[in-house]
Amino acid sequence: MASRALACQTLHELRDLIQQDPTAAEHLLEELLDRIAQLNGRLHAYLAEPDRKRLRQQVREQLKACPNGKLRGIPITVKDNICIQGEETTCASRILQGFRSPYDATVIERLRREGAVLMPRANMDEFAFGSSTENSAFGPTRNPWATDRVPGGSSGGSAAAVAADLAIGALGSDTGGSIRQPASFCGIVGMKPTYGRVSRYGLVAFASSLDQIGPLTKDVTDAAILLSVIAGHDARDSTSAPVEVPDYVSQLNTSVKGLRIGLPKLPEEGLDHEVNDSLAEAVKAFERLGCQTTSVELRQIDKAIATYYIIATAEASSNLARYDGVQYGYRAVGSGLGVEGSGQAQSPEPRTQNALLDMYLTTRTSGFGDEPKRRILLGTYVLSHGYYDAYYLKGMKVRTLIKQDFDEAFKRCDLVVMPTAPSPAFRLGEKIDDPLQMYLSDIYTISANLAGVPAVSIPCGLSKAGLPIGMQLLTAPFREDLLLRAAYAYEQATDWHRRQPGL
């Protein structure tokens, strides 16, 4: 029998293999490059052609430089909003086309230090605005399980790459569900850590009070390994928390007997019955593992989407103000300032103030896609004089109530269990013209970001149409260890994580 392809194996299996035989890392890269050449045209998980020569060199260098690295020789892909020195970082937006990052994000430094091989760069919704990756300015990613379906978003490229064995693991970012929802649509594990657990230095900001970087992986052990590499305090991100990082991997096997699982009553609008059934089965599996279930109240959860779309758009409109055609990337052709087209912006000498304003206007008009423009409009409106109290301030108050709901719930239980998304992956084009329907895809994920609590999505079923279904576990701040332990116990008792898309 032919031995199992390296590209299809997990990070922890490959780490052990490479430890015994470092040349396995070179074979692994070649397999991945072949698969990318074969499949990326169809899936569009990667935004750029891999630079084979430089990747081969990276493998050789990392094998030598990090003999004991936790990720030695392992290819990890990175969402296009995380800065890698010298690489283009576009957030899948025209307005950043041609921008090359002058420095490494902290998470990238940490991956490098452990011997990872960085595979730039995974497709995403423009500036991480979206739930389907259809908002990428460079074309959508397709779901490896059914290529007429979306992979979820906004980290859809990261999720599709891992699910299709085009990368061994990935980093994504999650502001309202962007790691967990694509993980659930693509049948893999995706975790949003506690706000403050992972440094966001070098992550292009969307909504600074909600954004977190996290891992997307083939199983829970891999998530524990990647999280242990990227977690921890960083003086360069003032929101990063000086909280000790436990050894996630060695605790995975600790029994979950006696853990209290909280089941909230959720808004059922749009909840697919297959998702509901899979979740009910998963809860039974936890009971068989010795967990107790109890009902908990998350009373304000039905207000989470409205609250999120006030706070997130307010912060996004402010964060997007910096894309002016001067500092980064793209400048509109014909903007009257003599520096045209895409590429690194140069300092212009504005002839008149009008020419400068004209340049801002034409650059932003042609550089941003529809969704960033919609968010800028919404965000500017909710922050504007006279509306601030009615919207933003009120949104912040409801956010506090949502957080209090979780504080109360976690007095009564150790974990909350709920669906990750109301349905399995939807079809490309199905929701793109209806922003409200699209926003509802995040109904179950958004409150974790508003409350700052950690949450993980793991595979818990397949629909009749053969599409993955995800379950979400949430817990109290900085208890990722507990999330991973419970997810691991469930994974050991089931085999959903072993199902593969029939590409």
Give the nearer residue to ligand GLN in terms of CB position, either 116 or 376. 376
Nearest Cα to Cα of residue 472 among 44, 179, 120, 169: 179
Q: Which of 42, 51, 143, 84 is nearest to 463 (CA)?
A: 143
Nearest one of 203, 200, 154, 161 to 180, comparing CA atoms: 154
CB of 369 to ligand GLN, least distance (A): 13
470's enclosing H/E stretch is: strand 468-474
Q: Which residue, 134 or 491, has its beta carbon nearer to ligand GLN?
A: 134
Min CB(430)–ligand GLN separation in Å = 15
The residue annotated as part of the active site, out of 70, 79, 218, 431, is 79
Pick the catalytic residue: 101, 132, 154, 335? Answer: 154
User: Is 178 a catalytic site residue?
Assistant: yes
Residue nearest to ligand GLN (CB): 178
**AA identity, residue 188:** I
318 among known catalytic residues: no
Active-site residue among 131, 155, 178, 457? Answer: 178
Chain positions contacting ligand GLN, by CB under 6 A: 128-131, 154, 174-178, 206, 312, 442
The residue written with tokens 């070649």 in the block is 30
Between 155 and 335, name the residue whose CB sits nearer to ligand GLN.
Answer: 155
- At 367, list the tokens: 């550089």
Of 134 and 481, which has the nearer Cβ to ligand GLN?
Answer: 134
The least distance separating ligand GLN from the CB of residue 257, rounded to whole angstroms, comes to 34
Among 408, 185, 132, smallest CA distance to 294 is for 408
User: CA 403 to CA 210: how far, in whole Å?
Assistant: 13
Helix (H) or strand (E) holding 281: helix 273-288
Integer CA distances (angstroms), 268 to 17, 86, 406, 419, in order: 46, 46, 19, 11
Q: Which helix (H) or strand (E) holds 212?
A: strand 212-217
Rounded CA separation 405/499 (Å): 35
Nearer to ligand GLN, 128 or 428 (CB): 128
Shortest spacing between CB 445 and ligand GLN, in angstroms: 7
Q: State both tokens at 405.
A: 């709901």
Task: Please spell the DSSP secondary structure of 119-142, one letter per residue.
Answer: EEEE--SGGG--SSSTT-TT----
Q: Which helix (H) or strand (E) holds 203?
A: none
* Nearest residue (CB) to ligand GLN, 97 versus 154: 154
Q: How far is the CB of 303 from ligand GLN (least distance, A)?
A: 16
Nearest distance, CB of residue 432 and ligand GLN, angstroms: 12
Residue 163, beta-bridge partner list: none
Active site residues: 79, 154, 178
